Amino acid sequence: MPTNDVFDASTLRTVAAGMPFLEGPIALDDGSVLVCELEGGALTRVLADGSRHTIRLGGGANGAALGPDGAVYVDNSGGFTFATEDGIRFPSGGAEGNEGGFVQRVDLDSGEVATVLTHVGSEHLGGLNDIVFDATGSCYIVDTGMGAVHYANPIAGTIRRIEGDLTIPNGMGLSPEGDRLYVSETYVGNIVVWDVVGPGELANRRVLFNDGGEHGWDGLAIDGAGNVCASNLAASGVSVISPDGEEIARFVTPVYDSYVTNVCFGGPEGDTAYVCSAGRGILYSVRWPWGGLRLHFAR
């Protein structure tokens, strides 16, 4: 398996260190990076000069995406307890009082935080994870606790479940054309794919790639070539899986971390990957050979 030999090591740098458990990164056009803090529940903006600005959210901020109104929408798990082993921080159980997940709207300019979704039908949302907007301004939401995918318009306050019976779904992303939705199932080793046949309408569910249960997937992003870039817990990095279902490369962090949780793309040329080494509290950046995919409503 090719690993870091396809990546330019001279471009690897530490963007931030000493941060609470990092998740759900978003690269902004001004060179700053937003990261969710699963431990403590916050959204932190890491500026290009290394300074940080934090907005407290409560619960456990897990995934985030920019919406059509310019706000950041955060998938909140409700919160976890944490433990440390061999210098690596990790979730160890649900936080006291965690009654389920919810979606929050964060205004970056004012710092205002509002909870916009708590239930799907009559059921409280489970532990939420990744979120991705499509071109219509609605979004797909991974509900790890329910084993489901929801389709929502958080501005209008509507949500419906569109897929279920998933085993610990975690990361999620849309193909460059918007015609495929990918979801990682953490411990069974699947990268699942559907055809998107209409807004919030999925068909032909199938397994794109299975690792035999050896890796443990976390969050994912889609790069400029349409590859699925899935956080690979056991390998301390990011596996690059082609649209045809072949693992073509693997980025590995310079310091081992069994909780590399997510990745996003940005930078001046759009070809910088930002990788969350959450267990070590480090945010890395590295030039990505396939370029990045600019998401809807990026700014």
| pLDDT over 60 at 61, yes or no | yes
| pLDDT over 60 at 126, yes or no | yes
| Integer Cα distance of 131 and 240 in angstroms | 20
Band of pLDDT at residue 44, cut at 50, 70 and 90: very high
Contact call for residues 24 and 274 (beta carbons, < 8 A): no
Average pLDDT over residues 236-244: 97
What CATH number is attached to the domain comprising 211? 2.120.10.30
| pLDDT over 70 at 264, yes or no | yes
| pLDDT over 80 at 162, yes or no | yes
| pLDDT over 80 at 215, yes or no | no
| Integer Cα distance of 93 and 27 in angstroms | 29
Band of pLDDT at residue 252, cut at 50, 70 and 90: very high
Q: How many domains does the chain have?
A: 1
Residue identified by tokens 């609470």 is 20
Percent of the chain with pLDDT over 90: 92
Average pLDDT over residues 70-91: 96
- pLDDT for position 3: 61
Q: For 22-51, b where at least 16 C-beta lie within 10 A, e where not — what string? A: bbbbbbbeeebbbbbbbbbbbbbbbeeeee
Q: Is residue 168 part of a domain?
A: yes
Give the structural domain span for 279.
4-287
Average pLDDT over residues 73-95: 95
pLDDT, one tens digit per residue, over 139-159 is 999 999 999 999 999 999 999
Tell me what the pLDDT averaged over the chain comes to: 95
Average pLDDT over residues 198-227: 94
pTM of the predicted structure, to 2 decimals: 0.96
Average pLDDT over residues 253-271: 97
| Integer Cα distance of 155 and 136 in angstroms | 12
Q: Is residue 299 part of a domain?
A: no
| pLDDT over 60 at 198, yes or no | yes
- pLDDT for position 201: 98
Min mean pLDDT across 77-91, 173-187, 202-216, 246-260 is at 202-216
Torsion of CA 148, 153, 156, 157, to 10 degrees: 20
- Token pair for 101: 């997940």
Who's near 49: CB < 8 A, 6+ residues apart?
A: none
Cross-strand bridge partners of residue 204: none
| Integer Cα distance of 276 and 26 in angstroms | 11
| pLDDT over 60 at 118, yes or no | yes
Q: Is residue 297 part of a domain?
A: no
| pLDDT over 60 at 90, yes or no | yes
pLDDT, one tens digit per residue, over 130-140 is 999 999 999 99
**3-class SS at 196?**
strand
- Token pair for 86: 């061999």
Q: Is residue 296 part of a domain?
A: no
**3-class SS at 21?**
coil
Q: Is residue 22 part of a domain?
A: yes
- Token pair for 254: 């310079």
**3-class SS at 151?**
strand
**3-class SS at 188?**
coil
Band of pLDDT at residue 48, cut at 50, 70 and 90: confident
